[in-house]
Amino acid sequence: MADKNTMVITGGAGFIGSHMVDVALERGFRVRVVDDLSGGREENLAHHGNNADLACEWCDIRDLEPDATVFSDADQVVHFAGIGDIVPSIERPTDYMSVNVQGTVRVLECARAANVSKFVYAASSSCYGLAEVPTTEDHPIQPQYPYALSKYQGEQAAFHWHHVYGLPVNAIRIFNAYGTRVRTTGAYGAVFGVFFKQRLSGKPYTVVGDGSQSRDFVYASDVARAFLAAAETDHTGRIWNLGGGNPQSVNYLTELLEGERVYVPKRPGEPDCTWADISRISAELGWAPKVSFEEGVALMLEDIGVWKDAPLWDPDSIAEATKTWFQYMDKEGSA
């Protein structure tokens, strides 16, 4: 681009957000990161050194005011900041509503005050619940737990600002993102963090159910490319599903990682398969995944040392960590 645009990336020190920073800087943007480092890490951006086109504001998005200087010269805003994980959302729903909904409203007001040319919201495919596959963007919305509800309400807020205030908004509903820099500590959840620590420790992989369940994994750099396209397109008011379009089973992942398996109970309310219909994003943004599942897993294994301090999960600790899940999500068992 001839004149550099400024892109604000909330959650830019996080897993996907830091990949977004990479892509935006490579594209020629000036980048402003907003992150409270509750899930992100400064180390995720360290490879950029003292790049003059990268500046960081370490703050909670709920503390942002419309005149926040980090937004003052913004052309585009890409909003990743929020809190994830399913079980903690069941235990602490008010936190999720506060950050993922009210925090999003704060960012929307900053974007509106800056009169940005595009606001791209990182939505979640969890809004679909137990969906038919492959899942299209017009599938009924059926959030099953507070995290899913909070991300969908954040999406609704973004489009409300689009309709009422004319803020140019697009949203991308991410399916199962994976890749380097994914969080290595915290709540039980993401399969890669669980399995990689178990591999480092020589322990068997704790496979949920029979392992035949499949997930539509999409690599973080491919996710970032999609968000860049959504920020630069002339389209506005659009929602796109984003996945690899090629679901992979958990059993296949353990084959790639090699090692023994043990099985833990299947969790109620979880789909057997997630699978994004990516025909709309491919047609309208010209996006297609570049990193195959096998390539992505290999890239993560090259960096497996980052999981050395991650929690080591076994069937007993998983059962303890997911008690709340079974308490509230097992509708049949409690009927």
271/302 Cα distance (integer angstroms): 30
Clarify whether residues 19 and 133 are in a common domain: yes
Find, among 181, 297, 282, the residue nearest to 225 by Cα. Answer: 282
Please say if the pLDDT value at position 32 is more than 80.
yes
Would residue 283 count as lying in a domain?
no
Please say if the pLDDT value at position 47 is more than 80.
yes
Clarify whether residues 96 and 125 are in a common domain: yes
pLDDT tens across 164-202, in order?
Answer: 999 999 999 999 999 999 887 677 778 998 999 999 999
CATH code of the domain covering residue 18:
3.40.50.720
Clarify whether residues 269 and 298 are in a common domain: yes
The b/e string for 215-240 (b: 16+ C-beta within 10 A; e otherwise) is bbbbbbbbbbbbbbbbbbeeeeebbb
Clarify whether residues 139 and 270 are in a common domain: no
Residue with tokens 């620590």: 197
Instruction: Point out which residues pair with 242 in neighbouring strands.
Output: 174
Would residue 192 count as lying in a domain?
yes
Give the pLDDT band (50/70/90) at residue 331: low
83/102 Cα distance (integer angstroms): 12
Give the pLDDT band (50/70/90) at residue 104: very high
* Cβ contact 275:216 at 8 Å: yes
pLDDT at 332: 54
Please say if the pLDDT value at position 333 is more than 70.
no
Would residue 258 count as lying in a domain?
yes
Would residue 238 count as lying in a domain?
yes
286/59 Cα distance (integer angstroms): 35
Counting the structural domains of the chain, the total is 2
Please say if the pLDDT value at position 249 is more than 50.
yes
Known catalytic residues are 147
Q: Are strands 214-215 and 248-249 parallel, antiparallel or unpaired?
A: antiparallel
Average pLDDT of the chain to the nearest whole number: 95
Would residue 284 count as lying in a domain?
no
Clarify whether residues 308 and 232 are in a common domain: no
Mean pLDDT of 12-36: 98
Would residue 112 count as lying in a domain?
yes
Amino acid in the structure at residue 86: I
Clarify whether residues 221 and 231 are in a common domain: yes
pLDDT tens across 120-156, in order?
Answer: 999 999 999 999 999 999 999 999 999 999 999 999 9
| Residue 252 lies in domain | 183-215+246-274+293-328
CATH code of the domain covering residue 297:
3.90.25.10
Clarify whether residues 187 and 300 are in a common domain: yes
Mean pLDDT of 99-107: 98
Clarify whether residues 204 and 57 are in a common domain: no
Please say if the pLDDT value at position 334 is more than 60.
no
Clarify whether residues 83 and 163 are in a common domain: yes
Would residue 288 count as lying in a domain?
no
Clarify whether residues 322 and 227 are in a common domain: no
* Cβ contact 250:208 at 8 Å: yes
Please say if the pLDDT value at position 45 is more than 90.
yes
* 42 CB-side CA count, 13 A: 7
pLDDT tens across 250-266, in order?
Answer: 999 999 999 999 999 99
Clarify whether residues 199 and 114 are in a common domain: no
Better pLDDT: 267 or 246 = 246
* Per-residue H/E/C for the chain: CCCCCEEEEECCCCHHHHHHHHHHHHHCCEEEEEECCCCCCHHHHHHHCCCCCEEEEECCHHHCCCCCHHHCCCCEEEECCCCCCHHHHHHCHHHHHHHHHHHHHHHHHHHHHHCCCEEEEEEEHHHHCCCCCCECCCCCCCCCCHHHHHHHHHHHHHHHHHHHHCCCEEEEEECEEECCCCCCCCCCCCHHHHHHHHHHCCCCEEEECCCCCEECEEEHHHHHHHHHHHHHCCCCCEEEEECCCCCEEHHHHHHHHCCCEEEECCCCCCCCECCECCHHHHHHHCCCCCCCHHHHHHHHHHCHHHHCCCCCCCHHHHHHHCHHHHHHHCHHHHC
Structural tokens at position 222 = 């491919």
Would residue 287 count as lying in a domain?
no
Mean pLDDT of 25-52: 97
Percent of the chain with pLDDT over 90: 90
Clarify whether residues 85 and 40 are in a common domain: yes
